[in-house]
Each structure stands twice: as C-alpha cells, then as structure tokens.
Chains A and B, each alone.
Chain A
Amino acid sequence: MAEHHAHAAAHDDHDHKPHGWRRWVYATNHKDIGTMYLIFAGTMFFIGGGMAMIIRAELFRPGLQFVDPQFFNSMTTMHALVMIFGAVMPAWTGLANWMIPMQVGAPDMALPRLNNFSFWILPFAFTLLLSSLFVPGGAPAGGWTMYPPLVLQTGASFPMLIFAVHMMGASSILGAINVVVTIMNMRAPGMTLLRMPLFVWSWLITAYLLIAVMPVLAGAVTMLLTDHFFGTTFFTAAGGGDPVMFQHIFWFFGHPEVYILILPAFGIISEIIPTFSRKPLFGYEAMVYAVASIAFLSFIVWAHHMFTVGMPLAAQLFFMLSTMLIAIPTGVKVFNWTATMWKGSLSFEPPMLFALAFLFLFTIGGFSGLMLAMVPADYQYQDTYFVVAHFHYVLVPGAVFAIMAGVYYWLPKWTGRMYDQTLATWHFWLSTIFVNVLFFPQHFLGLAGMPRRIPDYAVQFTDWNMVSSIGGFGFGLSQLLFPYIIVQCVRSGKPVGNRAWEGAHGLEWELPSPPPYHSWTTPPSAAVIARGAAH
C-alpha cells in the first residue's frame, strides 16, 4: 500500500500541468499533444492548400501564366508531401491521441514522453522540407514518389527531401508504436478487443501498417541518398542497378500508405453514422474483419501503380485481380454503413452531413479505382488527370471529409462547447459542391488524355480546367470557415453536457465535457463499458 501511495503522489505531480510554453514543449498529456497534432495538421492543410491554389491558378488557362515549369513541378511535389505527411497523417495521429485513451478507458497514452518526441519531430521535418523552397535549384520537383533517375537530378534540396522523409517516417513509427501499446495494454478491465469502438480498431490496424511499411520507405530513400552521394548503384543502370526496383520498393510502402490515410476514416464514419441514425452499427464484427482484410490485401497489390513498366503478363493478372479483390471488404463496409441508416431515425447535423458525403464521394473514388485496376484500361489512364481525379476523390471527400466529420463530432467533447451548426452546415455545403466542381471534371480531362504534372495543356482541355480551377478556388476559400468555426466555438460556444449528441455511445461520452486532464484515472465500471459498447 505504501508503494501505491508513492505512486499517487507522483501522479499528483502530473496533474498540475505546467503553464505557458512549457505546457506545450514539455507536453506529455495526450490531449495537449493531440491538440498540437491537430493544429499542426491544420496549418499544413492550409500551406498545402496554398500550393494547390498556385497549381489551379496556373492551369486556369493554357499557356504559362504565373510560374515557371520547374516551380510548377515543385508545387505538385510539395503539395503531395505536405498534404500526405503533414496534414492527413498528423491529423489522424492527433485524433488518435485525443480519442483512443478516452475510448478505451485509459488515463493517458501508454508512452507519454515518446508521444512528445514523435510530435516534436514533425515541425522540424517540415521546416526542413519547406525551407527547400529557398535553396539553389528550388524545392524537389520530381514528384512525391521520388522516382529515380529523375529525383537524383534534384539540386541542393535533395538531401533535405530525404532527411525530411526520414524524420516524418520516424515520427509516424513512434506514434504508431504508442497507439499499439496503448490499445493492447491500457484498455480498462472489461474493454475486450471486440468491444472497442471501430475508430480504435481501425487505428490499431493502421498502426501495424505504419510499423510495417514506413521503415521500407526509409530504406528506399536511404538507397536514393547513397546512390546520389556515395556511388552506390541500387537504382542506376550503369552500375547494374534498376530504377524499376525503386518503384517496387516504393509502392510496397506506398500502397499500404494509402490505407494508412483512409482506414482511420472508416473508423470515424463507423462512429458517426450510428450516432445520427440512432441505431447500433450494422455488422460490427464484419466491419472489423473488413478493415483487417483490406490491410492484409494492401500488401499484395502494390504493382498496380506501375502496370506500364513492362511486367510479365502473369504479374499483371495477379496484381489486377488482387486489387479488384479489395472491392469486396470495401463493399462490405459501404453496405454496412448504408444498412446502419436503414430505418434509423436520421438527423443531419454537420458531422453526419460530412459522413454522408464521405459515403457517396469515397465510393465514386472507389469505382474509378476499380477502373484503374484493369490493366488494359490502366494503360490509357495512367499518368493522366483521371488518376488525379481518382485519388483526390478518395483523399479529399474521403480522408479529409472524415477528419472534418471527426472534428465536428468530437469538438463539443473536447471544448465542452457547441459550435455554430448553421455555419458548419454552410461549410459542409460549400465544401461538397466545390469539391465536386473541382475534381469531377478532372475525370473528363484524364479520359480525353490530359497528362498529370504538366503546367501547360492543349487548348481543347481549357473549359474543364477552368471549371476545375473555379471549384478549386471555391473549395480553398470555403475552408477558411473551418478554423473560424473552431475558434468561435472555443471562445464563445454554448456549453454542452457529457453526451453532446443524444444518440452517441462510447466511453468518451461518459466523461464530462470538456474531459478532465487525465481521462480515466479510475477505470470505468463494467456497467459503464457495457452502456458504451452499444453494438
């Protein structure tokens, strides 16, 4: 008992949070770190969005208007790196930090100091990456996929790119380890694996994907680094290397990576749709197995990103069929979400609106993905705007909308205040209309043959590019509402109760709003857990 006492005293120390800058720089609290992750992700979302605006401005009409081609290529490359590694991934880690301890009945993340480290790597990584815009030769412009030999021609920014990727990777791996340890070891007694909310489940699987593939990316970029500076020839044909091998290694990372970007979204949608349908999730276990199957399949489909490199027919068939197989567990998820709404008492608050838009628009992205999976069709589509339209449909109204849905869902929990729902509904409609104006015409452009990553185009593509750019500017401007709504909510939102949404289930809603600094210092009782796990 004496020992117990000593621990209680040590804990007491924790609860008095440091003030001022120390609270953030020395942060070990999951909520503080989660907040920092989300603010960081938001900042990067606007920086990456600014780059997208430059791209769309240049493509507004044919010819070269505003930027030179090299800078345009830097913009496409940096936009991708910033959005993937700076906006979407940190946003997921931020949400994981905030929600996982609350949802599994833990006081905090399992490894608080590691948590601090994995966050604070990120600002340094992105300072390094973004400062490459100002070095001789400009920022990396060879595409975010960093294919050699082109990427080896990058100027002074080449090592900056490589080390920034190393740092982002290290941050993600550490964050993922923390998530796995928290979920495996810190669950409250009675919170069995199959009682966990789907957000927790999808993050657990995502974390395993991260641990398995981020080091492979680190290996690939290290090989690029030694090829460039130390005379190795991993990817240089002159020395017996093979540039195609880079594509294999890169996409062995890259395909699981796209599921890293989307699986947590599946988790969030699986929380929101039941809440606003006032029904438990249809087919909870099927949903868990579907996520696990998607994660497994993601390891054996990578070469569908490179059908045109000259693969044997047998390999093309294998990768085509395994890719199409992913449509099955994904279909299970889409149908289960739809079945959850069937005969439910639906209401359309902002999180639900974003979740519904996700359901429709992510499915469109999924269908164009199936089209791209077909080898003969892919020969036509590859490297055109059709591909751009496809992955933006799954990433913007897919991953990004799910992040926004998650923020609108849990913001009242985090702050204890309700945001302006009318304004958030405006944000939703503007985003949804403009995102379609922005990306839908890109399908047409791609089918008509407009190539990606080129600052100029043939005049017959003018009209749809103009429409797409208008959609881009509209979408970009509407996003300014998002931080405004959040700040307004934090400052002057109306207080809410524990259960901010009447249909919400789960342990986080059993805590006060805002929750205490350490979430569940005493584990929730079996009755509370049973009430939370309403499926």
Chain B
Amino acid sequence: MSDARDRENRILTWKLGAIALGALGFGFALVPLYRTLCAVTGYGDQGKLLERVTAIEHPDPSRTVTVEFLTDVASAGSWDFRPEKRRIEIHPGELYTAEFFAHNLTGHESIAQAVPNISPSEVAAYFHKTECFCFAPQHFALNEGRDMPVRFIVDPSLPSHIDTITLAYTFFDESSRVTRR
C-alpha cells in the first residue's frame, strides 16, 4: 500500500471519527433543543405549568369545558395522593380552585414535589395557574395528610375544538434528593 493512500485513509478516518463525535454531541444537543422547541411552541410546556401568573377574570358563561384531574405517585405505596373531585365543569375566563389531598405514608418526615402535565398538550398555553402546590416542594411531617389547592383560570381564547382538559399530577418523593444535596 502506498504512503499516499495511507495518508488519505488516515485523513478520511479522522474525518469520519469527527462526524461520529459530532453525532454524539448532537445527541446531547437534542436535550436543550427539545426544551426550546417545547417552550417556543408552548406544547405541553412544563415551565408554563410551573409558573405563577396573574390573570384577570373575563368569564365566558356561554362556554363550558370539562376539566379532569388525574393523580399518580412515582413510587407506589408510599403516598396517598388524590383529587378531591375527579372532574369539574368550568367556564373559560373564570377563576376556580381545586383541592388535592396528599398523605405521607413513607414512614418518615418527607419532602415531595408534584409535577404537572396537561393534555391535550396544546392547552398548556391557555391554562394559567395563579396558585399551585406544585410551585414549590411540599414538606410533610410523619403521617401528615392535608389538602393542597390549585387555583387556575382557562384563557377564553382556548381553541374551540377543545371541550375536555386533563390535568395530571405525579407526586415525587424528593427526600433523598434533598438530603443528598
């Protein structure tokens, strides 16, 4: 094999290696890219759901939308977590309060964080919370159970094809993560 070809082979090998490294970088770049895309389009944006807003009421009594509440816990058995009501009928533009009940069954003092999710995902841009237990980690004493409120207002400009909104919360026991820090 000639030296010239050896050199060409080496150059191409390094170029292809660089492409592979670039692809690895691209894999990681997908993380901020994904977040940006969610933020820009507003689809299912967690940031928006975790953000306190001040909204003014402009009730639209001519329209009724069903809001369903779902709850889930990340580690089964350690928490009792459920909505007070499974579904309510609301008018867009009016402020509502929904209560969620959580009971610490972990056997120790605990800190938990609720993470919201909404579907259909395009609703995220129209669902405003003025107050939510999900804005901050919640402290629970051993065996403590209490009600926690979420106050929300649905934007009257909600697209007309939407008649049901599902708000889901997952409860994460954060004690280990907090104490580790």
A binds B: yes
Cβ of B24: which chain A residues have Cβ within 8 Å of it?
A: 215-216, 218-219
**A249 vs B51: C-alpha distance when bound (angstroms):** 27
A interface footprint on B3-40 (CB within 8 Å = 1, 0 otherwise): 00100110011001101110110111011001000100
Q: A185-B5, A239-B177, A312-B43 are in contact. Are A249 and B12 (CB under 8 A)?
A: no
B interface footprint on A221-262 (CB within 8 Å = 1, 0 otherwise): 001000000010010111110100100110011000000000
A/B pair count, beta carbons within 8 Å: 101
- Residue B170 CB within 8 A of the other chain: yes
- Stretch from A21-29, A121-129, A206-214, A355-363 that touches the partner: A206-214
Q: A111-B9, A111-B13, A312-B41 are in contact. Are A231 and B27 (CB under 8 A)?
A: no
**A242 vs B21: C-alpha distance when bound (angstroms):** 25
A242 near B20 (CB under 8 angstroms)? Answer: no
> In the assembled complex, how far is the CB of residue A114 from the closest CB belonging to chain B, in whole angstroms?
8
**A176 vs B117: C-alpha distance when bound (angstroms):** 41
B23 near A180 (CB under 8 angstroms)? Answer: no
B12 near A248 (CB under 8 angstroms)? Answer: no
**A79 vs B3: C-alpha distance when bound (angstroms):** 45
Q: A231-B177, A237-B172 are in contact. Are A249 and B121 (CB under 8 A)?
A: no
> In the assembled complex, how far is the CB of residue A312 from the closest CB belonging to chain B, in whole angstroms?
5
Cβ of A177: which chain B residues have Cβ within 8 Å of it?
A: 13, 16-17, 20
Cβ of B122: which chain A residues have Cβ within 8 Å of it?
A: 312
- Residue B119 CB within 8 A of the other chain: yes
Most-contacted residue by chain A among B20, B31, B41 (CB, 10 A): B20
**CB-based nearest A residue for B47:** A240
Q: A310-B44, A312-B43 are in contact. Are A237 and B115 (CB under 8 A)?
A: yes
> In the assembled complex, how far is the CB of residue B146 from the closest CB belonging to chain A, in whole angstroms?
20
Contact of A238 among B16, B38, B115 (CB under 8 A): B115
**A242 vs B27: C-alpha distance when bound (angstroms):** 15
| Band of interface residues on B | 35 or more
- Residue A150 CB within 8 A of the other chain: no
**A238 vs B175: C-alpha distance when bound (angstroms):** 12
**A367 vs B164: C-alpha distance when bound (angstroms):** 35
- Residue A220 CB within 8 A of the other chain: yes
- Residue B56 CB within 8 A of the other chain: no
Please count how many residues in chain A sit with their CB below 8 Å of the partner chain's CB atoms: 41
- Residue A110 CB within 8 A of the other chain: yes
Cβ of B74: which chain A residues have Cβ within 8 Å of it?
A: 149, 237-238
Q: A237-B170, A245-B34, A312-B41 are in contact. Are A220 and B27 (CB under 8 A)?
A: yes
A interface footprint on B116-132 (CB within 8 Å = 1, 0 otherwise): 01011110000000000
Cβ of A212: which chain B residues have Cβ within 8 Å of it?
A: 19, 23
Cβ of B68: which chain A residues have Cβ within 8 Å of it?
A: none
- Residue A311 CB within 8 A of the other chain: yes
B121 near A310 (CB under 8 angstroms)? Answer: yes
- Residue A477 CB within 8 A of the other chain: no
**A311 vs B121: C-alpha distance when bound (angstroms):** 7
Cβ of A181: which chain B residues have Cβ within 8 Å of it?
A: 9, 12-13, 16
A248 near B30 (CB under 8 angstroms)? Answer: yes
> In the assembled complex, how far is the CB of residue B164 from the closest CB belonging to chain A, in whole angstroms?
14
- Residue B94 CB within 8 A of the other chain: no
Q: A180-B16, A311-B121 are in contact. Are A219 and B113 (CB under 8 A)?
A: no
Contact of B20 among A211, A245, A253, A311 (CB under 8 A): A211
**CB-based nearest B residue for A217:** B27
- Residue B71 CB within 8 A of the other chain: no
- Residue A184 CB within 8 A of the other chain: yes
> In the assembled complex, how far is the CB of residue B45 from the closest CB belonging to chain A, in whole angstroms?
10
A211 near B16 (CB under 8 angstroms)? Answer: yes
- Residue B174 CB within 8 A of the other chain: yes
B120 near A310 (CB under 8 angstroms)? Answer: yes
> In the assembled complex, how far is the CB of residue A464 from the closest CB belonging to chain B, in whole angstroms?
34
B12 near A185 (CB under 8 angstroms)? Answer: yes
**A181 vs B1: C-alpha distance when bound (angstroms):** 14
**A2 vs B122: C-alpha distance when bound (angstroms):** 74
- Residue A399 CB within 8 A of the other chain: no
Q: A242-B34, A312-B122 are in contact. Are A213 and B23 (CB under 8 A)?
A: yes
A238 near B23 (CB under 8 angstroms)? Answer: no
A242 near B9 (CB under 8 angstroms)? Answer: no
Cβ of B8: which chain A residues have Cβ within 8 Å of it?
A: 185
A240 near B46 (CB under 8 angstroms)? Answer: yes
> In the assembled complex, how far is the CB of residue A162 from the closest CB belonging to chain B, in whole angstroms?
14
**CB-based nearest B residue for A179:** B16
Cβ of B20: which chain A residues have Cβ within 8 Å of it?
A: 173, 177, 211, 214-215
- Residue A7 CB within 8 A of the other chain: yes
B121 near A245 (CB under 8 angstroms)? Answer: no
**A114 vs B180: C-alpha distance when bound (angstroms):** 43
**A508 vs B134: C-alpha distance when bound (angstroms):** 67
**A220 vs B23: C-alpha distance when bound (angstroms):** 12
**A184 vs B74: C-alpha distance when bound (angstroms):** 52
> In the assembled complex, how far is the CB of residue A194 from the closest CB belonging to chain B, in whole angstroms?
20
**CB-based nearest B residue for A213:** B23
Q: A211-B23, A215-B27, A237-B170 are in contact. Are A180 and B1 (CB under 8 A)?
A: no
B172 near A245 (CB under 8 angstroms)? Answer: no
Q: A219-B30, A223-B31, A231-B180 are in contact. List 8 more A-B contacts (CB 8 A).
A: A107-B1, A212-B23, A215-B24, A216-B23, A219-B28, A237-B172, A238-B170, A310-B119
Residue contacts A-B, CB under 8 angstroms, 26 given: A107-B1, A111-B9, A149-B74, A173-B20, A177-B16, A177-B20, A181-B9, A181-B12, A181-B13, A185-B8, A211-B23, A212-B19, A216-B24, A216-B27, A218-B27, A219-B27, A219-B28, A237-B115, A237-B117, A238-B174, A238-B177, A242-B46, A245-B34, A248-B30, A252-B30, A312-B41
On B, residues with C-beta under 8 Å from A are 1-2, 5, 8-9, 12-13, 16-17, 19-21, 23-24, 26-28, 30-31, 34, 38, 41, 43-44, 46, 74, 113, 115, 117, 119-122, 170, 172, 174, 177, 180
